[in-house]
């Protein structure tokens, strides 16, 4: 069978009452554990656990509340499954508690910009995903503007890599995420997606997450998130062809199947 570079599928477990795609279905720890089990069975090699919604317009969550949501779920997943666990958080204290509970990666939509985040990540010595976001979840979709979205995102990510260098974080631990839908219009997202080969050339593993997002809904005239699954699988295939190495998705089964077809039909040279 043709060889493709290794692609990891990251399944999403939102331990929140207000995420855009599943709206609190997995707030209960047992439900979250069942969801993680299903995603792993479907082929996820990474489970991303988040306790604070970062959908457009979302309100921030207090530190203790976020800890109460994610720590029991991470402990349960880490103790029962042989899978990489990622903590989706902006808060240094949550990063530390999650790693202590058994998580292996940090996935930060603020790219370690919170006070103390760089220092905590360096001390924990685990992989970190640095994502681009313009503004905050509460305001990011209020008329986002760029001089050149690709150049601006590339510059931001390069600057955050340098900040990690200065903090003593190993470059081998850095993953980059362009942040589709985070302070970006459809035109911005489209330009950024087409530029994935340029971002991949920065030399770090590239994570892409467009699963069920509004950008797909706008392209497909699909208001309901559940009607964007096929579009997300197609986008995942394109992202891998453009250089992505980690696909973050709600729909693991469909994405894994799409990768199997890509693997079977990809040119051998």
- Could you list the active site residues? 213, 248
Backbone φ/ψ region at 5: left (φ over 0), alpha (ψ -120 to 50), beta = beta
The whole-angstrom separation of Cα 128 and Cα 170 is 10
Q: What interhelical angle do 149-167 and 117-124 show, nearest 10? A: 60
**Token couple for 233:** 């699988």
DSSP state of 11: E
| Helix/strand/coil (H/E/C) assignment for every residue in 20-62 | CCCCCCCCCHHHHHHHHHHHHHHCCCEEEEECCCCCCCCCCCC
Q: What interhelical angle do 229-241 and 252-265 show, nearest 10? A: 40
**Token couple for 205:** 């593993």
DSSP state of 80: H
Render 202-252 in DSSP notation, one character per residue.
TSS-BEE--TT-HHHHHHHT--SGGGGHHHHHHHHHHHHHTT--EEEES-H
82 Cβ neighbours under 8 A, 6+ residues apart? none
Q: How many Cα atoms sit within 13 Å of 154 on the Cβ side?
A: 17
């Amino acid at each position: 069978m043709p060889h493709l570079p290794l692609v990891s599928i990251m399944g999403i477990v939102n331990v929140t009452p207000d995420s855009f795609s599943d709206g609190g279905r997995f707030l209960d720890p047992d439900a979250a554990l069942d969801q993680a089990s299903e995603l792993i069975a479907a082929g996820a090699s990474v489970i991303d656990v988040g306790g604070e919604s970062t959908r457009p317009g979302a309100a921030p969550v207090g530190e203790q509340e976020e800890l109460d949501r994610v720590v029991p779920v991470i402990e349960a997943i880490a103790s029962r499954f042989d899978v990489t666990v990622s903590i989706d958080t902006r808060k240094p204290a949550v990063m530390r508690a999650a790693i202590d509970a058994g998580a292996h990666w940090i996935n930060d939509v603020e790219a370690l910009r919170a006070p103390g985040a760089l220092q905590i990540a360096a001390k924990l010595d685990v992989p970190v995903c640095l994502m681009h976001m313009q503004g905050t979840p509460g305001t990011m979709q209020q008329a986002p503007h760029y001089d050149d979205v690709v150049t601006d995102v590339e510059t931001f990510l390069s600057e955050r890599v340098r900040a990690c260098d200065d903090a003593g974080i190993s470059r081998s631990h850095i993953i980059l995420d362009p942040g589709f839908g985070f302070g970006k219009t459809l035109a911005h997202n489209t330009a950024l997606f087409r530029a994935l080969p340029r971002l991949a050339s920065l030399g770090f593993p590239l994570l892409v997450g467009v699963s069920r997002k509004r950008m797909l809904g706008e392209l497909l005239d699909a208001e309901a998130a559940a009607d964007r699954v096929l579009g997300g699988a197609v986008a995942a295939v394109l992202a891998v062809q453009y250089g992505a190495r980690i696909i973050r998705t709600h729909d693991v089964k469909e994405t894994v199947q799409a990768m199997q077809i890509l693997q079977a039909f990809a040119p051998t040279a």
